[in-house]
Amino acid sequence: MRDIQRRLARLGFELGPDPAAYYGDATEQAVRQFQEQRGLRIDGICGPQSWGSLVEAGYRLNDRLLYLRAPMLRGDDVSELQEDLGALGFDAGRVDGIFGPRTVAALEEFQRNAGLTIDGICGPDTVAALRRVVRPTGSSPPVASVRETQRLLDAPRELHGRRVGIGETGGLAALADAVGRTLVEAGAVVAVLHHPDESVQAGEANAFNAEAFLSLALCADGRCSTAYYAARAFESIGGRQLAELVLAEVGGDVFPPASGAHGMQLPILRETRMAAVVCEVGPPGLVVEHTAELAKSLTRAFARWAHGPVNP
């Protein structure tokens, strides 16, 4: 508890009158504010996802050596490195704060161009070289965004033959299966994934080489909300378009739409490598009653996305 409060305070969150090691109202409010800032589910509980994000938020570039290992290093220092490499035209992939093979490849390419030792390790010499040449943030879109847009535009403009993943973490198996069947009937190549762990599902979707992924989740109130991956200096262009289309197709009298698609950093969005969307619908009884209708609506959303994956 002391560590949670200490980390929140270092990030500038007010803890008010709460004494050390006491999870009071002020601490809960600070956790909620942190969750909102980081694109997490806002519940005021510092569970595994929030704690992991809190730890990651404490790292700044040059605080530690960054190198490829298992499990992969995660943190805001990795995000900063990815932002800098992308701003210079080296494709480190999406800014996800995960030091994986694509980030290593971009780092080694930068080291080669900068005349540094090519070891794939981001240490003081590499950081110093980056800081000498990196352009101001926001001067141009990161190369990952440019390449994602081009990849989406180059793909076939039809659903037939496209690889689509459908997942659910519990309670919506019947809906996920129904969506999968409807997509197959429309000509898509589909993998339906049932697993309670979002990270496991993300890995399975990546292994399937899905071009788009939809994660279904229950919500208590009768509505529809969607989320796509977005971080400080990056957002999934294809994910945002798909999220907006899902909201447009599903949202209506039965499942009133939330106020727009939201950029978030949930594990299923952060760890997938394709346009990915979380769609929350509920309550359970209403979902069961309208399963066939939902499956058709979601398939229409995918078909519209295949035809126009980028918002003009």
Give residue 172's pLDDT band: very low, low, confident or very high (50, 70, 90): very high
Report the SS3 class of residue 163: strand
pLDDT at residue 217 is higher than 90: yes
What whole-number percentage of the chain has pLDDT above 90? 84
Domains of the chain, residue spans: 2-57, 76-143, 155-307
What pLDDT does residue 1 have?
Answer: 82
What pLDDT does residue 137 have?
Answer: 55
Judge whether 76-143 and 155-307 match in fold.
no
pLDDT at residue 18 is higher than 90: no
Interval 251-281: pLDDT, tens: 988 999 988 899 999 999 999 999 999 999 9
- Topology annotation, domain 2-57: Muramoyl-pentapeptide Carboxypeptidase; domain 1 (1.10.101)
* Phi, psi angle pair for 295, to nearest 5°: -60, -45
What CATH number labels 155-307? 3.40.630.40
What pLDDT does residue 136 have?
Answer: 60
Q: Which amino acid is at 124?
A: P
Interval 275-300: pLDDT, tens: 999 999 999 999 999 999 999 999 99
What CATH number labels 76-143? 1.10.101.10
What pTM, to 2 d.p., does this model score?
0.91
pLDDT at residue 155 is higher than 80: yes
CA-to-CA distance for 37 and 290, rounded, in angstroms? 34
